[in-house]
Amino acid sequence: MTEAAERAPEFCGHSVVWPWIKEHINRPGLEVLEIGSRLVVSRALWKDYLPDVNYTGFDFMDGPNVDVVGDAHKLASYLSGRQFDFVLSCAVFEHLTCPWLVAEEIAKVLRVGGKAYIETHFSFSEHETPWHFFQFNSRGLEQLFHPRLGFKVLDSGLSTPIIGRFARGSQGYLLDQPVNNLYCHAEIVVEKVAEPEPGFSWRDVAEDLLVSSSYPAPA
């Protein structure tokens, strides 16, 4: 099995997720929220894959395909108590100054039994600066959408492999050396299986990691 195949999500990879969304989410009457819905470089894919749902587009800036303008860090405050069956967000989380807060907000607006799909970047050049703050791997996304917030991971991984190499400006011993295991996209699909724990704290999430895992021992 190739490295790319080992890291690829089962169904939420960049090139395969939309058919999965159409099969599992496109139902009449389902409430769908897209965070970062403004059309920037592509067309509104939801119109092809989710034609039967009740769609709401949310973005920090007004523009085409935007129904509600606001700050995702305070998402629930703009939606008047509305609850959604599916929340999606593509190429947004790298631009959030506190993405963990947005994960909390998604937990507020997603119904128990609802699902969320997040795609962001793992290895990619800076863009839309100065508001480009983070890169993620799939393990990082799994920490954001933590069981303490009521989430269960259904699928996650990295997709869209990149060939990398150290270029001019690197130290001599690095020049032209390959950089392995690069992928453009990190993705996750989660289901909300419960309400967030009362008194939820990110400090507890950090403590959980120390109990359930460990930093690799020196070679």
| Mean pLDDT over each residue of the chain, to the nearest integer | 94
Q: Where are the alpha helices (DSSP H) in the chain?
A: 3-7, 17-25, 46-49, 99-109, 138-144, 202-212
The DSSP code sequence of 181-199 is EEEEEEEEEEEE-SPPPTT
Whether the pLDDT of residue 86 is over 70: the answer is yes
Give the start-to-end residue ranges of the domains of the chain: 3-212
Whether the pLDDT of residue 1 is over 50: the answer is no
What does the alpha-carbon distance between residue 49 and residue 27 come to, in Å, rounded to a whole number?
Answer: 11
CA neighbor of 121 nearest in space, from 156, 83, 86, 94: 94
Superfamily of structural domain 3-212: Vaccinia Virus protein VP39 (3.40.50.150)
List pLDDT tens digits, range 170-199: 999 999 999 999 999 999 999 999 999 999
> Per-residue pLDDT averaged across 197-216, rounded?
92
Cβ atoms < 10 Å from Cβ of 199: 7
Least confident of 2-16, 20-34, 107-121, 134-148: 2-16
Whether the pLDDT of residue 88 is over 90: the answer is yes
